[in-house]
Structure 1
Amino acid sequence: MWQMARKALRAAAGLALLVSAPLNVTSAADDVPVSQELRQRSAEILTILNGGGDPATTFAASFRKAVPDAQMQALIASLQRQLGTAMGIESLTPLGEHEATVRLIFEKGTARAWIALSPQPPGQVTGLRVTGIMPTDIADLASLDEVAAAFAAAPGNAGFLVQDLDEDSPAAALRGERTFAIGSAFKLVILAELVREIDDGLREWTDTVTLDGTELPAGAFRALPPGTPVSLRRLAEEMIRVSDNSATDLLLAELGRSRIEAMQARIGFAHGARNIPFLSTMEAFKLKGVEGGALGRRYLAQDTEGRRAMLAGEVADMPGRAVGDLFADGRPVMIERLEWFASPADLARAMHWFQGRKDTVNGREALRILALNPGPAANLTGEVSYAGFKGGSEPGVLNMTVLLEDRAGRWIVVTASLNDPRAGVDEARFQALFTRALELAIKG
């Protein structure tokens, strides 16, 4: 629902040379060359990250059109505020002749980058993505237990769990069975119910939903005219890939609220009762936003049947425009009672449910969809065989949940939630801690 995508620098480029220490070159595949162009452009990027260099020489025209100089400078300034001066490149992992990942060393921390070059001379940078920004104090965390302690010290309440799916006990856990508001991570339940119905022969991925003019929340399907058919596969892809709320609500309506509620137990949600009735995103927006939350407070005062009646009547009849500019002030809105809830263990069990279907046609399709947006695991390109992700956020709520297969064939879930009903959460630090957890988890 409320996604947390914070795209740092997008583009592709090459990799290269360290400024102050020997470059450690590793390879994601056998016999992948490290071209001179990759080394040269990497050195140029390092200079640009420190405010020098010539962007017109380093970056292709297509890149500069997509990322104007002013935008690049703003992004560089943000990176410098967080990490200080770029000192060099610690290591590079070539992914091909014109593409690589790189670990960047800064004065006050580290970051990961994915870079690629045009195959045409002069081999300029066609894209660059810098993510995995990690201050030194987080980079120095040496174990998953230390990461758990750092999450515990964060303002608000945090939950964290790392589970090797071949093991009975988690490798690390913090409040593993406590429920947290999880934002858009609830969409895992809808995807699971779709897979179950296709497995049972009730539907096909190619089945379509015909738009009927029902008001939808923001998303790619909101503006399409009534009568437009949309496949279940496309709805599922957009629900996961960009956390599309219009796709989510179309799927929820098509599959049925009661079936999705029942699916929670099947995928391991031990605390699914908190999500009954299972809200659509439009319903949640209305409950939180109409009349300054008064609609939501009336809803919360009802028993389950009373809530269902309100959703079918008063809430359904309320136009979306009545929500107003929800979250404009950045303050949390009733996140302790009016949300979707799951524990870290619930989310790990849900990802295990998907992984357990990896040898079936529909299971493989679900895993493909989960991998459309690897989220923070995009930093691990070349280091893992698979990365699937779903997360969620709104003011005061943040969740990240990743399913990984390392290069040895070990399947791992890393999940963390942070709730603070008083203020927005520190997303940058949360993501840095989560990234460090991913790094330590795949090291075993």
Structure 2
Amino acid sequence: MGVAACACCAARAQALASAVSPLHPRRREARRGSVTATPPVRAPLPPKRLLLLLNDAPFFVTHRLSIALAARAVGFEVHVGVPFEPRAVELIKGAGIVVHDIPLRRGARAVAGELRLLQAYWRLIGELKPDIVHAVTMKPVLYGGLVARLRKVPAVVHAVTGLGYLFLIGGPLAWVQRTLVLALYRAALGHPNARAIFQNPDDLDLFLRHRVVDRGITVMIRGCGVDTREFPYTPEPPGPPLVLFPARIIGDKGVREFVAAAGALKAQGAEARFRLLGRTDPDNPTNVTEAEVRAWEEEGIVEWRGFSTEMPIELALSHIVVMPSYREGLPRVLIEAASVGRAIVTTDVPGCREVVRDGDNGLLVPVRDAAALAAAIKRLLEDKKLRADMGARGRARVMAEFSVEGFVADSLAVYGDVLQDDQPAPAAA
């Protein structure tokens, strides 16, 4: 979803916030889909100041505004620190959230830029004195978490939303960089009163294996939920099948494997269209240039629509959704595709396999395997009933496991949990 469509998102999030039940502490075990029994609800918490730190304002609107509004509805004073993007910031402010500009550039690694980011977090947290900091994505978790620890913020929530490029490549330099990043995570997550949210068990297992985090503070919340009213179940449209790749045009999303599979299927006579729906990302080390994408178009392999602000419509126009990513936290776009009722082809990697069960609501293929990807797409192209059955099962699973209402309730429960841990124990009678 793009910023131009986010006014609707903000309105839906506001409506959701008004329906959220009062905040209560509910502990979740760090296991796939498991929840412990809810303890008795304690006395209502006094108003607290919440600071959310993210790397992108449009991402905040589409992925975390629902939490911010729900937190405000139950009494929090809510602030967000993000790099300014005018349209997104206007929506955030219009929703009653205080916005602070943060000089953060995704993908940038210059020392001066990192120091400016640390300085900005140090100043903001020092001046604001939040009761709780919720950091989302790598740099806010690493740097915001370190500053929150040094500034002695009473409570911190970290959201590990994926591990990124460094955890996909080999070689001695990458090993050194990963070791350094894990050490920074260890320091950031070492706050004495923190919770660490993970989106898939593979990322959690990696952190536990490297002793980056204590299991006792970990929480599993799969993804950030989808508003199933915004992404309603929609029957397939008539006409030749449209195979949709709805992701950034970068190597790590498997775009080259998608193009190779499309070329192979067209060479076999497949009567289908193959569409790329996403933007290039020059800040990403695996970015595909616009010239390369245009060359694929000129060869007649794919059509490129660029970035779209109308994802519900784009998904409804498709017949099959394909994203052969190398690794994910938990890809929201696949949940959106399942909500619309589309069969999915994706890779058997962390994050993707949390959304798609092989043979149930889609097909899983090996990573970096264009031939296997082509075979899976061909199977779905040739079987309309299989697509419909998988789409129906995907919709049912989203309704049961990936609703935005569940995501908001789980997130507020984490806030209540960590803030209760910050309260002094009652005096003995």
TM-score by length of 1: 0.25
Largest Rg, 1 or 2: 1
